[in-house]
């Protein structure tokens, strides 16, 4: 497998101000843009834009296509199209839940080149065994792409220290103090950098870059696939991590006399409003996600028993959002997965509880359903591409070596 060397020591790199980096980010986020549009959007001199295009083409990051005249564009020579190089670098993104791993190979622009789901070893299995198996699948996926691999990122639910990928606690995997990023990096020396993070933090990146969080100053993200509820906050695109494990939104208490939570408290949001709670499931018998989807469908159609369950869960979600809004003052709230369905079916219950927040009454944050498909995978890919996007000039090997590879 071809390897890209991206040299950096920063845990959270700041965006580069180089013209090449700004142009690469624009192409990455838009997928395709004319050279003239990019020059205007980035307010670059034409000569500087031309140099940036040449640099990124030589590095094998972008390609130029035939000019295409846009409807209503002024007369004159149409501008060449810029888009990610189809032979350019990819990253491997993965999501772990309590029963399976989902993997994707993703190129610049967010295009998923391949994707697969793989059952995990039984709950409570040795984490190193699970991570070793995951590393093998990631190696196979990267090699199978036939393209250089710029990095990898894995998202999972739990307390994951942002700076080094140490999993303090992942209740649904039964993991404690697992140096997941360190284990994966040792297993995958051919991949320049392997990162592990909270699934909700990656989902927030995806929504901020490509979905309902675009343009937000402070984005509060809550997500739920079935078991557990994750949360994250981005301020001006930068994750708020606290000492490393901030925004455990699933463990905001919404009912002090409620169901015991595996975390040791009672009435946490996740045991009150995740898919398992919607089905009256238990940690040992969480129910089937297909049954959650069916219940949500029946609630949307107005079936009374299903609607009562969803509206009760939506009210508890709104109660948690009131507390979180008082803490973080978001101008945008994104709700993904099951929680997005609560917003679609019972927005009044969420808004009524959210109104208990003095900050929400003052600032009126926009609450929207997440719009990115597979947000954890897409966000993990955004994280894995981060260093390359910030410093494209640190890419190696040089263009002459790349021509030999191709």
What pLDDT is attached to residue 76?
Answer: 58
Can you read off the two tokens belonging to residue 188? Answer: 């995958």
The 10s digit of each residue's pLDDT in 26-76 is 999 999 999 999 999 999 999 999 999 999 999 999 999 988 655 555 555
pLDDT of residue 74: 55
Q: Is residue 52 part of a domain?
A: yes
Do residues 337 and 227 both lie within one domain? yes
Tell me which of 27, 61, 84 is where a domain ends. 84
Whether residues 261 and 358 share a domain: the answer is: yes
Q: What is the pLDDT of residue 404?
A: 41
Task: Let me know: does 154 contact 194? Beta carbons within 8 Å.
Answer: yes
In a domain, 154, yes or no: yes
Statement to judge: residues 309 and 362 lie in one domain:
yes
Looking at residue 405, its pLDDT comes to 37
361 and 382 fall within a common domain: no
Q: Is 209 within a domain?
A: no
Q: In this structure, is residue 252 part of a structural domain?
A: yes
| pLDDT for residue 72 | 56
Look at residue 9 in the predicted model and tell me its pLDDT. Answer: 34
Instruction: Give 323's contacts (C-beta < 8 A, 6+ positions apart).
Output: 252, 357
Identify whether residues 184 and 300 lie together within a single domain. Answer: no
Q: Tell me, what's the pLDDT at 344?
A: 97
**Which stretches in the chain have pLDDT values below 50?**
1-16, 398-406
Considering the domain architecture, whether residues 350 and 250 belong to the same structural domain is answered as yes
Domain assignment present for 244: yes
Asked if 246 and 352 sit in the same domain, the reply is yes
Nearest Cα to 379, choosing from 99, 164, 156?
156
Q: Is residue 141 part of a domain?
A: yes
Asked if residue 181 and residue 309 are part of one domain, the reply reads: no
The total number of structural domains in the chain stands at 3
DSSP string, 1-56: --B-------SSPPPP--HHHHHHHHHHHHS-EEHHHHHHHTT--HHHHHHHHHHH
Q: Which two structure tokens, joined as six digits, stand for 103?
A: 């993997």
Residues 159, 247: one domain? Answer: no
Pairwise CA distance, residues 401 & 60, whole Å:
11
Domain enclosing residue 340, as ranges: 214-369
| C-alpha–C-alpha distance, residues 336 and 205, integer Å | 12
In 229-287, at which residue ranges do the beta strands (DSSP E only) sit? 230-235, 238-239
Is 396 domain-assigned? no
Residue 74 lies in a domain: no
Q: Do 101 and 175 share a domain, yes or no?
A: yes
Domain harbouring 328, CATH code: 3.30.420.40
Q: Within this chain, do residues 218 and 365 fall inside the same structural domain, yes or no?
A: yes
pLDDT digits (tens, 9 = 90+) for 348-363: 999 999 999 999 999 9
- In this structure, the answer to whether residues 131 and 192 fall within a common structural domain is yes
> Which pLDDT value is given to residue 394?
64
């Amino acid at each position: 497998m071809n390897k890209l060397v991206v040299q950096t020591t920063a845990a959270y790199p700041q965006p580069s101000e180089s013209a090449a980096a700004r142009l690469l980010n624009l192409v990455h986020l838009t997928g395709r843009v004319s050279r003239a549009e990019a020059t205007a959007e980035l307010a670059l001199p034409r000569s500087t834009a031309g140099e940036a295009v040449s640099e990124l083409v030589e590095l094998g990051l972008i390609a130029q296509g035939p000019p295409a005249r846009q409807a209503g564009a002024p007369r004159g020579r149409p501008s060449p199209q810029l888009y990610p190089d189809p032979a350019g670098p990819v990253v491997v993104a993965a999501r772990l839940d309590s029963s399976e791993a989902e993997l994707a190979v993703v190129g610049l622009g967010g295009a998923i080149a391949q994707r697969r789901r793989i059952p995990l070893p039984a709950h409570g299995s040795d984490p190193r065994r699970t991570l070793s198996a995951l590393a093998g699948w990631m190696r196979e996926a990267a090699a199978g792409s036939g393209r250089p691999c710029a990095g990898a990122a894995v998202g999972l639910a739990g307390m994951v220290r942002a700076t080094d990928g140490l999993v303090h606690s992942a209740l649904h995997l039964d993991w404690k103090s697992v140096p997941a990023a360190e284990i994966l990096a040792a297993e995958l020396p051919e991949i320049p950098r392997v990162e592990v993070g909270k699934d909700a933090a990656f989902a927030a990146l995806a929504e901020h870059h490509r979905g309902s969080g675009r343009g937000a100053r402070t984005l509060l993200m809550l997500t739920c696939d079935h078991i557990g509820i994750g949360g994250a906050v981005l301020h001006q695109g930068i994750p708020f991590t606290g000492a490393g494990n901030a925004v455990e939104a699933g463990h905001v208490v919404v009912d002090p006399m409620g169901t015991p939570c595996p975390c040791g408290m009672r009435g946490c949001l996740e045991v009150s409003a995740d898919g398992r709670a919607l089905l009256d499931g238990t940690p040992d018998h969480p129910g089937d996600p297909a049954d959650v989807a069916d219940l949500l469908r029946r609630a949307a159609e107005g079936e009374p028993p299903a609607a009562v369950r969803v509206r009760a869960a939506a009210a508890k979600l709104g109660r948690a959002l009131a507390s979180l809004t008082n803490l973080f003052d978001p101008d945008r709230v994104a709700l993904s997965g099951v929680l997005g369905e609560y917003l679609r079916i019972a927005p009044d219950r969420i808004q009524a509880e959210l109104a208990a927040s003095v900050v929400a009454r003052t600032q009126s944050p926009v609450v929207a359903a997440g719009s990115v498909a597979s947000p954890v995978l897409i966000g993990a890919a955004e994280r894995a591409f981060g260093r390359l996007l910030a410093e494209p000039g640190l890419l190696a090997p040089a263009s002459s070596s790349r021509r030999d590879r191709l």
